[in-house]
Each structure stands twice: as C-alpha cells, then as structure tokens.
Chains A and B, each alone.
Chain A
Amino acid sequence: MLNLLLSRLATAIPSIVGVVIVTFILTRMLPGDPAAYFAGLAASPQAIAEIRTKLGLDKPLPEQFVAYIGDLLHGNLGNSLSTGQPVVTEIATRLPASAELTLFALILAVAIAIPLGVLAAVKQGTWIDHTCRIVTTAGVSLPVFFTGLLFAYVFYYLLQWAPAPTGRLDVFLSAPTHITGFYLIDSALTGNLEAFWGALSQLALPAISMAIFSLAPLARMTRGSMLAVLGSDFIRTARASGLSPRTVVFTYAFRNAVLPVITTLGMVFSFLLGANVLIETVFAWPGIGLYAVNALITSDYAPVQGFVLTMAVLYVVLNLTIDFLYGLVDPRVRLDS
C-alpha cells in the first residue's frame, strides 16, 4: 500500500515540475511591462525602475525562476491589483465553493453515466442503447455555458422552480457555520436544514449543467468496457457455473469493467475543471473560476496566474488520487508494486 502510494507520487513529480515551468513562462509572458503594471498608470519611470528591481525583473531568467520557486514555496502568488489582497488567501477562501460545485457535478455525472453505460451494454441494440448513444454524442456537443443559461431561463424565469442564478446561497439566508467550507456538508453537520435546502437548490442547476457535459465520456467508456468484459472468457465461466445474472453482471463483469472507467476520470476532471470556469461565470458562483474571469476583465494578471497554477496542481493531485484508487481496485497493480 505504502509502496503503491510512493510509486504513484514519484510519477507525479515530473508533472508538477512541468506545471511550474509552464506557469513561470506564462507569468514572464505577461503583456506589457509587468513593472509598469504593478507600479500603476501614473507612476514615473524611476518608480517603475525601482519596482523592476524590487520584483527582480532586471535579473537573468534562471535567477528569476529560482526566485519564483522560492515564492511558490512560501505560498506567495503575488497580490491582486484590484483588491490588494494576497492571491493565495483569496483563492483559498474561494476554493471550497468551486470544489463543492465540481465534486457534486462529478457525483451526479457518475450516478447517471455508469448505470446508463451498464444498461446500454447489457441491453445492447435496444432503445436504452440508442438513448445512451444519443446522450453521449449530444452531451459532449453542448456548450456548457449555453446549457447553464438555458436551464436558468427555463427553471428560474419560466417555471420558477429554481432560485435566481446568483451565487451559492440566497441573499436572505446566512451561510452555515464554517467547518469544511462545503455548504451542503456544513449545514448538514450543524443541522441547519434551511441553509442545506437553500444551498442544494442553488447548486442544482450549475451542477446538472456540468454533469451533462461530463457524463458523455464516462457513459461511453462504461458501455464499451462493459461490452468487452461481457464477451470475455471468465464471464462465460461464470455463466457456465450457474451464477445468477446479478452476480455475473455486477460482481463479475462490472467490477472488471469499472477499471478503465476509473482511468477515464482523469479526462472527466479536465472537462469539469474547465467547465467550472464557464458555469461559475453563468451562475455568479463565488469560486476561483469567477475570480479568475473577473480578474481577466480588469487585466489583473496575478490572480489569473495563481488560478492557472492552482487548477493545474489540483488536477495533478486528482490524477494522482485516481491512479492510487485504480491501484487499490486492481490487484494486478497493487501486488506488482
């Protein structure tokens, strides 16, 4: 188990190094003179030169890179121009909102896609199979920001089933006591039913929009891998042993078929984290995606760089978790390491 964890960690190191190098390059490619930027519009040439020295921009690139690494190790991502706050703290306070939305969407997507894929494979060629095919092709074709808007229009404006698409909680409700930062969990833990219901109803539309977008690769993979497994020799053995259809499909076929699906989760997260930015914009969701988009509009680049780095590191960690999970499920990997 520890070996597995260590071997997976080792594979993540090159990714982290790559991510840091790329974000460094992106930072140095900032449009215009960063010093002029940080100095502000009315700054004199001397002030700009001073800031350049202070920021270390007059030093050669490798030295700047070392300084950049040092900053990262100290958790220093710079300050936001518009708020003056350190980017790190702003991202940290907004991260739970994004995480709650993304994870909820993932759970929804998995809960729909996997049964759909399994059913499509078991009932191959029937209407369920065709539905699965249409849903998967249509799902990846939907611009997630457009589905979000459409849902907001239908369920908020027309039907009034959903609350206004503005933020995590109705303005008249107060946020639950901060424990994890996830409103659903915090309100459930404190027994604050009103806040729980309010948070859930705000979460529903953005999460469903994201889930629809990301369930296609999951369903497609589940169907394909389930079909492959159902045709394999050991399923024939299981059937020849008279095991019940339930045992054959779930205990024998599904557990094997789920392995490639776990691998697909990496791609699904890439989809979800991207869609997250767009959906937060549509639903005024106070997460790091909206933070980055607002910073982009005001040409405030430090938050954008911090956002890209945070997302990339999160993604590497998620992939690491997926890899580790895979190893736990598949004995062939677990016992190999």
Chain B
Amino acid sequence: MLPLLRHARYVLSENPVTGIAFGLFALFLFAAILGPVLAPYNPMQSNAAMALKPPSVAHWFGTDQLGRDIFSRVLVATRLDLTIAFASVILAFFLGALSGVAAGYFGGWTDRIVGRLADTIMAFPLFVLAMGIVAALGNEVINIVIATAIINFPLYARVARAEANVRRDAGFVEAARLSGNGETRVLLGHVLPNIMPIMMVQMSLTMGYAILNAAGLSFIGLGVRPPAAEWGIMVAEGANFIQSGEWWIALFPGATLMLAVFCFNLLGDGLRDIIDPRMRT
C-alpha cells in the first residue's frame, strides 16, 4: 500500500490536474449529499411573478419559465444525476465483472455465451440501444440505470475476462485451489479481488460516460419526467428559450453537467495512471 501511495503522490505532482479533479469530485459529492439542505429556495416551488428572470444576487443562476430558482434546482439535481450514474456503474460492474471473470476463468461455453452477449450489445450504437431499452421497459428512472448498465456491460466483461484469463494459472490461484477451495470460492475469493484495482479504474473511466448517457436520455424525454430536477431535463426545458435569448435556463445545468463529466474523465485518467501505468496512452 505504501508504494502505491508514494506512486500516487508522484503522479499527482507530475499531473496537478488530477488533484484538481479530486477536489471537484469532493465538491460534487458534497453537493449530492447536502444539496437539498443548502439550496436557498425550494427547487419545486414555482412563482409566476418571478418567471424567466436572468441571474441576479437573489437568484444566482436566474429563474426558469415557472419562476423556480435554477441554482437550487441545479444543486438538488446533483444527487439524482450522480445516483443514476453510480447505480448504473455498480450494476454494470456486478453484471460485467462476474460474468467476465467466469468467462475468463472457466473458458469454454461460459466464455462463448458471455462473449456472444457482449458482441451483440456492441453491435448496436450504444445510445440508441439505451433508448430502445428504456422505451421497452417503460419510462422510469430505474430503467435509465438498467439501460446504462447494459450498454456498459461489454466493457466490464471484456476487461474482467482478459484479466481473469491471465490469472487463471497464476501461483496464488493454484495455491488457493490446492488448499481445498472449490472453483466458485477460488473465483470469488481470490481471482475477483485480484482484479479489483483494474475494475476500479474501469468504473471511474465509465462514470463520465454514464452521466452523459443518463442526461442524454432524459434530454429526449426518457426516464426522468418533469418537474423533477435533473440536469438533462433542465437543459431540455431551457432549449425552448434559447432562441428567444433566455440562455441561463439551459446554460447552468448544462455547464454543471459538463463539469461533472469532465471531472470524472480526469479522475479516471488519473486513477489509471496511479493504479495501472501500463494503460496510459
């Protein structure tokens, strides 16, 4: 652990941007947890008299067509957006890591089925498949999570498969097997923990994409429904006012969304440099 920390410090000093990304991440986490408490206004409270007001001291990000405070809505939306992204990444991890490790470890039929499944998903343009899944499963937030997890599944499965395949005959696996552990136990207790660092990198790398994907789906009206506060749907609402010059309705949620994705992408790159410098491009 100590060399890893030292290496982390080295990477951070080489690439201060990663440090900034960590700071941003903390800020987003903070907003997600305390957002509703910190919000100056009720994000759902409409106020016809205050509709479409540009940013001011009272309303930092202005108000929308219903007079709701955009700053409060953006702040409160953090929780929903990050929850969707986290949940889908964790789901993708469970689906992908388990089946991928099994495929790489057992080979044969397991490998072929998992591989075929991953290939079939990859045969679709991913966002389009996500649209189809949400449309078929129904217009619910949980279905955004499921769709995003499914389209991320092949990435996880492939990485897990490759890593498990390499470790199948490694010394520590052999040792675990010889000390009387069943195959499932070896798989879950020894192989899976061993590939966790690489899977963590994969998770942070796909977080940004998961946020983008979820926001994209809600932008076209899938999953999240008004009046819920969510970045994608807020941009969609603001889109109607861009042509008449009310830019702030779309800009602030959009910029926040962009910042969040940027933060996770930088974080993913940084984490990859720390954990697995080989993968650096």
Query: Are chains A and B touching directly in their complex (CB below 8 angstroms)?
Result: yes
Which residues of A approach B to under 8 Å, CB–CB?
Answer: 14-16, 18-19, 21-23, 26-27, 29-31, 137-138, 140-146, 149-150, 152-153, 156-157, 164-165, 220, 223-224, 269-270, 272-275, 277-278, 281-282, 292-293, 296-297, 301, 304-305, 307-308, 311-312, 315-316, 319
| B242 interface hit (Cβ, 8 Å) | yes
B31-39, B82-90, B116-124: which lies at the interface: B116-124
CA distance A152 to B244 in the complex (A): 11
The reply to whether B219 and A224 form a contact with Cβ atoms under 8 Å apart is no
Q: Counting chain B CB atoms within 10 Å of each CB, which of A220, A292, A319 scores highest?
A: A292
CA distance A141 to B245 in the complex (A): 25
Residues of A within 8 A of B120 (CB): 15, 18-19, 21-22
When A18-B120, A137-B262, A143-B215 are in contact, do A301 and B128 touch as well, CB less than 8 Å? no
Closest to B263 in A: A141
Helix, strand, loop or mixed for chain B's interface?
A: helix
B57-65, B158-166, B185-193, B250-258: which lies at the interface: B250-258
When A157-B245, A281-B219, A308-B129 are in contact, do A146 and B258 touch as well, CB less than 8 Å? yes
Residues of A within 8 A of B135 (CB): 26, 296, 301, 304
Residues of A within 8 A of B139 (CB): 31
Which 10 A-B pairs rank lowest in CB-CB distance, beginning with the nearest?
Answer: A274-B127, A18-B120, A146-B254, A273-B125, A308-B132, A141-B262, A15-B123, A29-B136, A141-B261, A26-B136
Docked complex: B129-164 residues within 8 A CB-CB of A: 129, 131-133, 135-139
When A18-B116, A30-B136, A137-B265 are in contact, do A311 and B239 touch as well, CB less than 8 Å? no
Of B123, B133, B219, which contacts A145 at CB under 8 A? B219
Residues of A within 8 A of B136 (CB): 26-27, 29-31
The reply to whether B116 and A141 form a contact with Cβ atoms under 8 Å apart is no
Residues of B within 8 A of A30 (CB): 136
CA distance A275 to B216 in the complex (A): 9
When A137-B265, A157-B243 are in contact, do A143 and B128 touch as well, CB less than 8 Å? no
The reply to whether B123 and A141 form a contact with Cβ atoms under 8 Å apart is no
Size range of the interface on B?
35 or more
Closest to A144 in B: B216
| B41 interface hit (Cβ, 8 Å) | no
The reply to whether B235 and A149 form a contact with Cβ atoms under 8 Å apart is yes
The reply to whether A14 and B119 form a contact with Cβ atoms under 8 Å apart is yes
Q: Counting chain A CB atoms within 10 Å of each CB, which of B220, B244, B247, B250 scores highest?
A: B220
Closest to A21 in B: B120
The reply to whether B133 and A143 form a contact with Cβ atoms under 8 Å apart is no
Kindly list 17 other residue pairs between chains A and B, CB separation below 8 angstroms, not including A140-B209, A277-B220: A26-B135, A27-B136, A31-B136, A138-B262, A140-B265, A141-B261, A143-B232, A145-B235, A146-B235, A146-B250, A150-B251, A274-B126, A275-B127, A278-B220, A311-B125, A312-B124, A315-B123
The reply to whether A304 and B116 form a contact with Cβ atoms under 8 Å apart is no
| B221 interface hit (Cβ, 8 Å) | yes
Nearest Cβ on chain B to A98's Cβ, whole angstroms:
11
The reply to whether A270 and B254 form a contact with Cβ atoms under 8 Å apart is no
The reply to whether B131 and A292 form a contact with Cβ atoms under 8 Å apart is yes
CA distance A143 to B127 in the complex (A): 13
When A137-B266, A296-B222, A305-B132 are in contact, do A143 and B254 touch as well, CB less than 8 Å? yes
Residues of A within 8 A of B244 (CB): 157
CA distance A127 to B219 in the complex (A): 36
| B96 interface hit (Cβ, 8 Å) | no
CA distance A292 to B221 in the complex (A): 11
Q: Counting chain B CB atoms within 10 Å of each CB, which of A23, A30, A296, A307 scores highest?
A: A296
Docked complex: B174-190 residues within 8 A CB-CB of A: none
Closest to B260 in A: A141
The reply to whether B243 and A273 form a contact with Cβ atoms under 8 Å apart is no
Of B220, B242, B247, which contacts A296 at CB under 8 A? B220
Residues of A within 8 A of B128 (CB): 273-274, 277, 307-308, 311-312, 315
The reply to whether B125 and A315 form a contact with Cβ atoms under 8 Å apart is yes
Nearest Cβ on chain A to B169's Cβ, whole angstroms:
29
The reply to whether A14 and B221 form a contact with Cβ atoms under 8 Å apart is no
| B208 interface hit (Cβ, 8 Å) | yes
The reply to whether B216 and A274 form a contact with Cβ atoms under 8 Å apart is yes
Residues of B within 8 A of A21 (CB): 120
Residues of A within 8 A of B137 (CB): 29, 31
Nearest Cβ on chain B to A219's Cβ, whole angstroms:
11
| B269 interface hit (Cβ, 8 Å) | yes
The reply to whether A143 and B132 form a contact with Cβ atoms under 8 Å apart is no
Closest to A12 in B: B123
Residues of B within 8 A of A152 (CB): 242-243
| B56 interface hit (Cβ, 8 Å) | no
When A31-B138, A150-B254, A281-B220 are in contact, do A18 and B265 touch as well, CB less than 8 Å? no
The reply to whether A269 and B131 form a contact with Cβ atoms under 8 Å apart is no
The reply to whether B132 and A304 form a contact with Cβ atoms under 8 Å apart is yes
Closest to A281 in B: B220
Q: Counting chain B CB atoms within 10 Å of each CB, which of A145, A156, A311 scores highest?
A: A145
Nearest Cβ on chain B to A103's Cβ, whole angstroms:
15
Nearest Cβ on chain A to B164's Cβ, whole angstroms:
24
